[in-house]
Amino acid sequence: MKEYLASAVRSISESIRFDSSRQKHSHTAPFGQGALDCLLHFLALAEDMGFVTHNYGGYIGDVEFGEGAEEFAVLCHLDVVPAGNGWTKDPFSGIVEDNKIWGRGAVDDKGPAICCLYALKALKDEGFVPSKKIKLIVGCNEETGWACIDHYKEVADLPETGFSPDANFPVIYAEKGILHVRLHFRMNKAPFLFLEGGSSNNMVCDYCEATPRTLTVTKARALGLDIVGKKIVAHGKSAHGSTPEKGENAILPVLKFFEDKSDVVRHAIACIFDDVYGLKTLQDETGNLTLSPNTVKYRKNDLQICCDIRYPATMTAEDVHVILRKFGVSYETIYHQKPLLSDKDNELITTLLGVYEECTGKKAEPIAIGGGTYARALKHGVAFGPEMEGDESVVHQKDEYISIDRVELLLNMYKKAIEQLTK
């Protein structure tokens, strides 16, 4: 696969240059022009390789390889979360430096998507004839709602079986349920005139600011807050909403500035950050529930906090709602995905484990994650890479990158995986 490495690196770099975070939509670009341009770039690459491609209204596209009656899916996405703050490199440059490709989407999920495309090209060039029709499906709305997958189901046939290269190795057998809720903490006279923070419901808030009615400089300094004019500003560290422990939430120090001035603010801190009702104690073999308050805004006597909740795979959303109702505040569900839970011994998982062990020389067991992938859109789906245990955490964070060594490994692993699952 070494002969494909330079081309794959170049294509990943090109793809990163499109800001495919969700933007203003149009009739031809339902998730914004950047996402559409990124999709067209990917499909043009595939066409140049000789594959049949389809663009389904700018929502999603696919690349076909093979003629078998049975179908197999490789599900990827080309959209990204907003760049966020604190980058030391241009997040949409795709610069190649220090043996790494830098930029938003390098790991999540443009790099792996393009590796899968070049894996198909390598198989095609070798004369491999799959027994199944392979569909490499690339969506443009994975990060903000999955309307791309809903659209695909309406206009095309989604295979029942496949994998998504959008999580971790060795192979994911379970994904927690995902629940995004907007909590409303009503207040008659807030101790602030303005409060807002966060850029995405599935990213740990790395910036929050507020305009206090009364600015106490010593308290602001004690909480590590910056003072900009009449505002207080908190800088945190972004992370994926499924792993809030890897980030530093900027909402908390801002709320703490006001906790001695408002019973409502104290209640919000107690419910969300102090977990007085024990929401985070829900657990099973797939892990504990995680709660990440990622966006906040104050509008018309209403402090609105959107929380990203990842609940254990053997539980239901109602198990979560039982505890949320104890908060005593109004809230609405703005997004929900049921968990994914697969049999660890099924053929899909054992085959992918074998590929992982062959390529890395490491014995491993399937794992569970809090992240959500397209795999749960399939009747029989799992996630497979690209991250390894011990990797620096860069997904949904500043200075995202993928190493060229990892690209080379992915080319080999995805080629072997697709070949073994479709021969």
The pLDDT of residue 379: 94
User: Which has the closest alpha carbon to 57: 151, 158, 143?
Assistant: 151
∠137-144-93 over CA atoms, to 5°?
A: 75
| Distance between CA atoms of residues 413 and 231, nearest Å | 50
| Distance between CA atoms of residues 135 and 162, nearest Å | 9
Spatial contact of 340 and 305, defined as CB atoms under 8 Å apart: no
| Distance between CA atoms of residues 82 and 234, nearest Å | 19
pLDDT one-digit tens code per residue, 23-82: 999 999 999 999 999 999 999 999 999 999 999 999 999 999 999 899 999 999 999 999
User: Which has the closest alpha carbon to 136: 166, 114, 153, 109?
Assistant: 114
Architecture of 177-337 per CATH? 2-Layer Sandwich (3.30)
Q: Which residues of the chain have pLDDT under 70?
A: none
| Distance between CA atoms of residues 169 and 125, nearest Å | 27
Spatial contact of 16 and 94, defined as CB atoms under 8 Å apart: yes
Spatial contact of 161 and 348, defined as CB atoms under 8 Å apart: yes
pLDDT one-digit tens code per residue, 405-422: 999 999 999 999 999 999
Task: List the structure tokens of 205.
Answer: 């808030």
Spatial contact of 341 and 372, defined as CB atoms under 8 Å apart: no
Spans of all domains in the chain:
2-176+340-422, 177-337
User: Which has the closest alpha carbon to 140: 243, 19, 7?
Assistant: 19
The pLDDT of residue 149: 97
pLDDT one-digit tens code per residue, 93-140: 999 999 999 999 999 999 999 999 999 999 999 999 999 999 999 999
Q: Is the dihedral of CA 76, 81, 82, 86 positive or negative?
A: negative
User: In angstroms, how far apart are the furthest CA atoms of the chain?
Assistant: 72
Residue of 19, 62, 71, 79 marked catalytic:
79
Residues 317-352 as b or e (16 or more Cβ within 10 Å = b): beebeebbeebebebeeebebebbbbeeeeebbebb
DSSP 379-395: SEEEE--EE-TT----T
The pLDDT of residue 14: 98
Spatial contact of 305 and 251, defined as CB atoms under 8 Å apart: yes
Active site residue 79: yes
∠379-172-286 over CA atoms, to 5°?
A: 100
| Distance between CA atoms of residues 361 and 353, nearest Å | 11
Residue of 19, 71, 142, 308 marked catalytic:
142
The pLDDT of residue 1: 79
The pLDDT of residue 2: 84
Residues 6 or more apart in contact with residue 260 via CB below 8 angstroms: none
Give backbone dihedrals phi and psi of 277, rounded to 5 degrees, phi first.
-100, 5
| Distance between CA atoms of residues 303 and 379, nearest Å | 40
What element of type H or E holds 33? helix 33-48
Residue 177 CB-half CA count within 13 A: 21
**Long-range pairs for 265-270 at CB < 8 Å and ≥24 separation?**
265/185, 265/187, 265/191, 265/303, 267/185, 267/328, 267/329, 268/183, 268/185, 268/303, 268/305
∠265-269-274 over CA atoms, to 5°?
A: 160
DSSP 113-167: HHHHHHHHHHHHHTT---SSEEEEEEES-TTTT-HHHHHHHHHSPPPSEEEESSE
One-letter amino acid for residue 318 of the chain: E
Fold of the 2-176+340-422 domain: Aminopeptidase (3.40.630)
Asked if the peptide bond before residue 109 counts as cis, ω within 30 degrees of 0, the response is: yes
The pLDDT of residue 68: 87
Active site residue 14: no
Residues 110-135 as b or e (16 or more Cβ within 10 Å = b): bbbbbbbbbbbbbbbeeebebebbbb
Distances (CA, A) of 226 to 214, 221, 254: 15, 7, 10
On the 0-12 / 13-18 / 19+ scale of CB atoms within 10 A, 295 is: buried
